[in-house]
């Protein structure tokens, strides 16, 4: 009995001791043990996802995030063992760093690292600038640097740098990100689709397990979607080259060219060029959607359509334009040839062919001066005054006066009919002409076709109709016939082609100088042409708008000639595409393959079941740059001899993506001209790399 009592007593005392100890830990020592736990679990860290790419309509990469790095050393990590290794391998490390970054000598690196070691710095910047992924991987192979950061101390900070492989092509429409990525996107598609592109942040924390810190994922980051734009790289290049060549020729200040698919409203190309202080042309702002300009004679088409639709005139209605000068409420309305005697008596078709100011303004004033609201209602019926509510921000809203508004004088109606005293952005004018080409259906211009994730379409953006019918079929037939004659018989002949028919209208307008109006010394001009092709079955519509100082100024000769070049080259491009589509499906087709990274080429060819002859040994995790040869039965993959880090690689035959990646990894700046494969590089392969030097690649 005494023995059992003793056991119970001991157990009771032990239980009391446990309860007391637990109470002490929970209350008296609570903060101490909380601090111990905090040392084992680090606070949450936000993990940024990979931003999605922006692709062209045919799948080419137009904007992508490439990693850049800053590299650091923690001299206290790893203790004495690491420090001894660092001292023993210091010369080897510095020689290796010099090969990767030739702008600093091995001696400079040694002095720099010794200074950091002496300070015992835990976050010592090894190299002052951001480096590429390839440079980072090369540095990671050096002694000590190849250990994990807790043993060796080498660590990095990653930055996602947004790159545009095609340089300035459609740069303003694609948009930019702020330098501080936390601020997000700045403009263009990048801003409009930022929520889809940026993905969702993840959260991790670090916890000490078995004397090692591990990254524990609480919420995994979700990478952004890829955005498939409507832009076509080939068409964009055609439009940009044709426009810039003309801007240089006539010393223009601003130029816009937009190419749109008639049925869908897809913008295939959009060019915005402004002359900079250095005399060159750059994409600085999206003039195509934001410039609030008086459109000039391209607006005459809308005025004539209102009168045709209201039954006030027919294409055969005649007007005596006299000697090209007509007094209207105390002001002179002049035709462009007034000093040569004018056009005399001409019909409505001829009025638009020669763009007679007197003819159009006389007709509109005659039929609507007693009820100008009816004319304005006719314009609004065709939705030319409607904002487009585009997918990207920054659009200007058309400004078309009504008779009840301030400053609507007697002269307003005639001058408004020829494109003055109104403000309409270029894309809105194009949308109106596109509706004429599209059998009267006005569709909303769009820049993005779909958002995709891992090959699956997340969201599609179908064609939207703004106005199902802007006018009657009778008016539509009449105006399309007139616009075709403007090109074949009128002032817009430079916009035409011998291969197919073109329809459209020229525009030449003086640009108002703010409060000074049109009389402030030297006059600036807006010359333009808007139309579509082929005229009998329209596939594309296009507007070219150019601002230039002084005379001469001709919508047909200047903007029209640019339109003509764009139309012929786009038409020829589509013809070549159709010919290539005629493939004999019974034959064994060996596709042409560009030079580049051979492991990627091998993966794609295997996936397509294309026969391959490998003349290299693929190694996991190691890049294999090379070129290809075509044989009757297979694609031959060959690697080139490796180039040192300070030698310019030969990228002839590569695509733009691989060539830019490889050259930028060597510290070179890359400029691209043309499309296709690299045919020429301004700095030949094998030359010594000069960091920051610009190399120009010509693609064909």
Q: Does residue 420 carry a pLDDT above 50? A: yes
pLDDT of the residue at 222? 87
Least confidently predicted of 89-93, 324-328, 462-466, 629-633: 629-633
Q: Are 649 and 643 in contact (CB under 8 A)?
A: yes
What are the residue ranges of helices labelled H in 426-545? 426-437, 473-488
CATH dotted code for 596-699: 3.30.10.20
Q: Check pLDDT > 80 for residue 537.
A: yes
- pLDDT at position 551, please? 85
Any idea which architecture 233-579 has in CATH?
Answer: 3-Layer(aba) Sandwich (3.40)
Distance from C-alpha of 688 to C-alpha of 314, rounded to nearest angstrom? 72
Using one digit for the tens of pLDDT, what is the confidence trace for 490-523? 999 999 999 999 999 999 988 866 555 555 456 8
Give the number of other Cβ atoms within 10 Å of residue 85's Cβ.
17
Q: What is the mean pLDDT of residues 19-47?
A: 66
Which pLDDT belongs to residue 206? 66
Q: Is the pLDDT confidence value at 561 over 50?
A: yes
Note the pLDDT of residue 473.
96
pTM more than 0.75: no
- The dihedrals phi and psi of 699, each to the nearest 5 degrees, come to -110, 140
- Short-list 254, 231, 283, 236, CA closest to 445: 231
Which whole-number Å values give the CA distances from 53 to 189, 375, 460, 654, 672, in the listed order?
11, 47, 16, 21, 19
Ordered by start, the domain boundaries in the chain are 2-40, 233-579, 596-699
On whether the CB atoms of residues 323 and 342 are closer than 8 A, the answer is yes
Q: Is it true that the peptide bond before 327 is cis, omega within 30 degrees of 0?
A: no
pLDDT, tens digit, for every residue of 99-147? 999 999 999 999 999 999 888 888 899 999 988 888 999 999 999 899 8
Quick: pLDDT tens for 634-672. 777 777 655 566 788 888 888 887 888 888 888 888 888
Averaged pLDDT for residues 398-414? 92
**Residues 398-424, mean pLDDT to the nearest whole number:** 93
CA atoms within 13 A on the CB side of 334: 11
Q: pLDDT value at position 520?
A: 47
pLDDT band, very low/low/confident/very high, at 578 (cuts 50, 70, 90): very low
Structure confidence at residue 451 as a pLDDT band (50, 70, 90): very high
d(CA 577, CA 572): 9
């Amino acid at each position: 009995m005494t023995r059992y009592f003793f056991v119970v007593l001991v157990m009771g005392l032990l239980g009391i001791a446990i309860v007391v100890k637990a109470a002490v830990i929970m209350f008296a020592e609570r903060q101490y043990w909380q601090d111990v736990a905090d040392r084992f679990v680090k606070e949450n860290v936000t993990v940024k996802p990979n931003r999605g790419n922006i692709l062209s309509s045919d799948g080419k990469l137009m904007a992508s995030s490439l990693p850049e790095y800053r590299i650091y050393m923690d001299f206290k990590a790893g203790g004495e063992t690491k420090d001894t290794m660092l001292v023993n391998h210091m010369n080897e490390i510095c020689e290796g760093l010099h090969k990767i970054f030739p702008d600093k000598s091995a001696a400079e690196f040694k002095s720099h690292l010794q200074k950091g070691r002496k300070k015992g710095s835990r976050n010592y910047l090894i190299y002052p600038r951001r480096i590429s992924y390839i440079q980072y991987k090369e540095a990671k192979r050096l002694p000590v640097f190849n250990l994990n950061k807790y043993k060796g101390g080498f660590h990095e900070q990653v930055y996602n740098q947004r790159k545009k492989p095609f340089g300035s092509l459609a740069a303003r429409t694609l948009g930019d990100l702020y330098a501080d990525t936390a601020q997000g996107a700045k403009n263009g598609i990048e801003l409009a689709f930022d929520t889809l592109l940026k993905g969702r942040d993840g959260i991790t924390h670090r916890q000490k397990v078995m004397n090692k810190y591990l990254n524990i994922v609480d919420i995994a980051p979700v990478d952004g979607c890829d955005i498939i734009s409507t832009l076509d790289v080939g068409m964009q290049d055609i439009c940009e080259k044709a426009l810039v060549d003309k801007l240089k020729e006539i010393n223009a200040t601003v130029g816009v060219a937009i190419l749109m698919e008639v049925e869908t409203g897809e913008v295939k190309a959009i060019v915005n060029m402004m002359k900079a202080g250095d005399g060159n042309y750059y994409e600085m702002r999206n003039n195509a959607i934001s410039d609030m300009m008086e459109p000039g004679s391209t607006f005459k088409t809308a005025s004539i359509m209102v009168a045709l639709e209201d039954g006030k005139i027919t294409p055969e209605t005649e007007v005596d334009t006299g000697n090209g000068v007509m007094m209207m409420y105390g002001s002179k309305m002049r035709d462009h040839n007034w000093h040569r005697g004018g056009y005399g008596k001409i019909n409505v078709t001829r009025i638009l062919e020669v763009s007679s100011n007197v003819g159009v303004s006389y007709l509109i004033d005659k039929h609507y001066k007693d009820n100008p609201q009816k004319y304005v209602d006719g314009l609004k019926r065709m939705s030319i005054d409607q904002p487009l509510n585009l997918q990207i921000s920054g659009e200007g809203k058309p400004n078309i006066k009504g008779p009840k508004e301030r400053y609507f004088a007697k002269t307003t109606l005639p001058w408004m009919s020829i494109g003055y005293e109104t403000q309409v952005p270029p894309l809105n004018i194009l949308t109106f002409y596109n509706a004429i080409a599209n059998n009267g259906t006005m569709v909303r211009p769009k820049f993005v076709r779909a958002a995709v994730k891992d090959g699956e379409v997340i969201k599609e953006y179908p064609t939207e109709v703004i106005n199902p019918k802007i006018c009657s079929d009778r008016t539509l037939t009449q105006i399309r016939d007139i616009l075709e004659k403007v090109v074949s018989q009128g002032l817009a002949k430079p916009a035409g082609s011998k291969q197919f028919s073109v329809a459209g209208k020229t525009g030449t307008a003086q640009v108002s100088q703010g409060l000074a109006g049109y009389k402030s010394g030297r006059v600036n001009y807006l010359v333009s042409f808007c139309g579509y092709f082929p005229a009998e079955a329209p596939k594309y519509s296009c507007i070219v708008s150019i601002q230039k100082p002084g005379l001469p100024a001709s919508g047909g000769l200047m903007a029209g000639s640019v339109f003509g070049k764009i139309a012929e080259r786009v038409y020829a491009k589509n013809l070549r595409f159709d010919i290539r589509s005629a493939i004999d499906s019974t034959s064994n087709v060996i596709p042409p393959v560009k030079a580049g990274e051979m492991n990627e080429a091998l993966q794609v060819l295997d996936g397509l079941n294309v026969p391959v002859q490998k003349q290299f040994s693929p190694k996991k995790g190691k890049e294999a740059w090379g070129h290809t040869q075509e044989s009757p039965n297979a694609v031959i993959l060959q690697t080139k001899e490796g180039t040192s880090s300070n030698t310019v690689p030969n990228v002839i035959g590569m695509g733009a993506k691989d060539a830019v990646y490889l050259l930028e990894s060597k510290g070179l700046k890359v400029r691209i001209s043309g499309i296709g494969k690299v045919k020429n590089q301004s700095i030949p392969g094998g030359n010594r790399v000069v960091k920051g030097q610009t190399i120009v690649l010509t693609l064909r």
